[in-house]
C-alpha cells in the first residue's frame, strides 16, 4: 500500500539501494537477493551524482555529510522514494528540494535516547560532585576535603520534548531532579510530565534552573536559541549542557558567559563545525566539558543502526508502514509511541 505512512516503491521489483558513506555496515550483505546495493563515498561527488538517479532507496550512513544535499539536483525527476538517515537529527537532509519531493524521510529514532540520557545524567553528577576537581587534586596528590552539591531537589529545564529530551528528563527525574520540559508547543496533560511548556516560555523558566539541557532539533526557529541573552537569564550557579546540535548555541556567547562567571559550568557534545579545531578557544575555557559528539555512541551502536534500517527495509518492501517517518516541514518525527521492530 502507499500513502502518508509508506514509501511507494519504484519499479522494478528488485529495488536499488544506494548507501552513502565510506564504511557501510556489514549487515547490508543480508540484502543479497533482496536488493541491488550501490555505494558512494561521502566525498565521491561524481559517483553519488551518477548513482542517485538509479536509487529507489537511499541509506545515508554518513549522517555528518552534506553530500546528499549537494548531489540531489543530479537525480532530476527520479528522486529516491525513501531516504533513511542513520541519525536522530535530519537537519542536513531537510533542504528545500527534498522537502518538496514525494520522498519519504525516516531517521534512527529509538537507538540513541537512553545512551544520551545516561551521558547527560553522568555530566550532571560529575559537575555537582566536582569530579573534575577531585581528579585534579588526585593528580597533584593533594588531600583536600570539600563539600559538593546535592543533585536531588535541584531543578532542570530540558529543552526538546522529543524522545531524547524525554529520556533525559525521565533519567534526571529518577535522580530526584525536578523537571521543566520545553517543546515546540504547550501540552497541559502530558502523561509523564504534566505540563510541557511552549518554547516561548523558556525565558521565564531559565532564571530558576540549576541545569539547562538542550536536546532540541535544529530548525530555523531554534538556531542560535542559546545566546548571550539566554545565558544572561540563568543564575550564576547554573550549568548548561548541549547534546542537541551545535548551531543551537552561539559558542562565543557561551564562552563569554563562562569566562565572566555568568554561569558556573557547561558541557558541549556537539559543535557547529566538527571536529573542533585544535586551536579553538573552547578547549581552554574553565568549567567547560568538551566531548567529541559521542554522547549517543555506546558499544554496538552501529550494529543497532544497521538492524533498524534492515527492519524498516523489510517493511518498505512489503508495504507495511515505516517506522520513524519525519515530518519534513517540522524537521523531526512527531511525538508518538516508541518504535519497536
Q: Look at residues 61, 260, 279, 281 and name the one whose alpha carbon lies nearest to residue 268.
A: 281
- Band of residue 334 on the pLDDT scale cut at 50, 70, 90: confident
**41 vs 107: CA distance, rounded Å:** 20
Q: What is the pTM assigned to this prediction? A: 0.90
Per-chain mean pLDDT for the chain: 94
The string of pLDDT tens digits covering residues 168-199 is 999 999 999 999 999 999 999 999 999 999 99
Q: 551502536: which residue's cell?
A: 301
Q: Which is the catalytic residue, given 256, 293, 307, 315?
A: 293
The string of pLDDT tens digits covering residues 41-93 is 999 999 999 999 999 999 999 988 999 999 999 999 999 999 999 999 999 99
Residue 311 neighbours by CB under 8 Å, 6+ apart: 323, 341
**208 vs 278: CA distance, rounded Å:** 35
Q: Per-residue DSSP letters for 288-310? A: EEE--S-TT--TTHHHHHHHHHH
Q: By the 8 A CB rule, do 97 and 77 touch?
A: no
Per the annotation, the verdict on 293 as an active-site residue is: yes
Per the annotation, the verdict on 45 as an active-site residue is: no
Q: 544520551: which residue's cell?
A: 116
- Band of residue 314 on the pLDDT scale cut at 50, 70, 90: very high
Q: 534526571: which residue's cell?
A: 172
**115 vs 124: CA distance, rounded Å:** 14
Q: Look at residues 122, 120, 174 and name the one whose alpha carbon lies nearest to residue 152.
A: 174
Residue 218 neighbours by CB under 8 Å, 6+ apart: 89, 91, 244, 245, 247, 248, 331
**49 vs 24: CA distance, rounded Å:** 18
Per the annotation, the verdict on 197 as an active-site residue is: no
What are phi and psi for residue 6, nearest 5 degrees?
-135, 155
Amino acid at each position: 500500500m502507499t500513502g502518508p505512512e509508506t514509501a511507494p516503491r519504484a519499479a522494478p521489483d528488485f529495488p536499488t539501494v544506494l548507501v552513502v558513506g565510506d564504511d557501510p555496515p556489514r549487515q547490508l550483505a543480508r540484502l543479497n537477493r533482496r536488493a541491488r546495493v550501490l555505494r558512494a563515498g561521502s566525498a565521491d561527488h561524481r559517483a553519488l551524482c551518477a548513482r542517485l538517479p538509479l536509487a529507489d532507496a537511499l541509506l545515508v550512513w554518513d549522517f555528518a555529510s552534506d553530500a546528499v544535499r549537494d548531489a540531489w539536483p543530479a537525480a532530476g525527476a527520479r528522486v529516491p522514494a525513501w531516504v533513511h538517515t542513520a541519525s536522530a537529527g535530519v537537519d542536513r537532509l531537510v533542504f528545500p528540494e527534498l522537502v518538496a519531493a514525494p520522498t519519504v524521510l525516516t531517521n534512527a529514532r529509538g537507538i540513541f535516547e537512553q545512551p544520551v540520557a545516561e551521558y547527560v545524567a553522568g555530566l550532571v553528577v560529575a559537575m555537582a560532585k566536582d569530579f573534575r576537581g577531585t581528579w585534579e587534586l588526585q593528580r597533584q596528590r593533594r588531600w583536600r576535603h570539600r563539600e559538593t552539591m546535592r543533585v536531588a531537589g535541584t531543578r532542570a529545564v530540558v529543552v526538546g520534548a522529543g524522545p531524547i529530551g524525554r529520556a533525559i528528563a525521565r533519567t534526571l527525574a529518577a535522580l530526584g531532579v525536578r523537571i521543566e520540559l520545553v517543546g515546540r508547543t504547550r501540552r497541559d496533560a502530558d502523561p509523564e510530565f504534566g505540563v510541557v511548556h511552549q518554547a516561548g516560555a523558556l525565558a521565564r523558566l531559565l532564571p530558576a534552573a540549576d541545569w539547562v539541557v538542550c536536546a532540541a532539533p535544529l530548525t530555523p526557529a531554534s538556531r542560535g536559541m542559546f545566546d548571550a541573552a539566554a545565558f544572561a537569564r540563568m543564575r550564576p550557579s547554573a550549568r548548561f549542557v548541549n547534546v542537541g546540535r551545535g548551531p543551537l548555541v552561539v559558542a562565543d556567547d557561551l564562552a563569554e558567559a563562562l569566562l565572566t562567571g555568568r554561569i558556573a559550568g557547561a558541557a558541549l557534545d556537539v559543535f557547529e563545525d566538527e571536529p573542533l579545531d585544535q586551536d579553538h578557544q573552547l578547549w581552554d575555557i574553565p568549567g567547560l566539558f568538551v566531548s567529541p559528539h559521542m554522547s549517543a555512541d555506546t558499544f554496538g551502536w552501529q550494529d543497532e543502526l544497521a538492524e533498524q534500517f534492515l527492519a524498516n527495509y523489510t517493511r518498505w518492501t512489503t508495504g507495511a508502514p515505516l517506522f520513524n517517518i519525519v515530518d519534513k516541514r517540522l524537521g523531526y518525527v512527531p511525538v508518538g509511541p516508541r518504535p519497536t521492530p
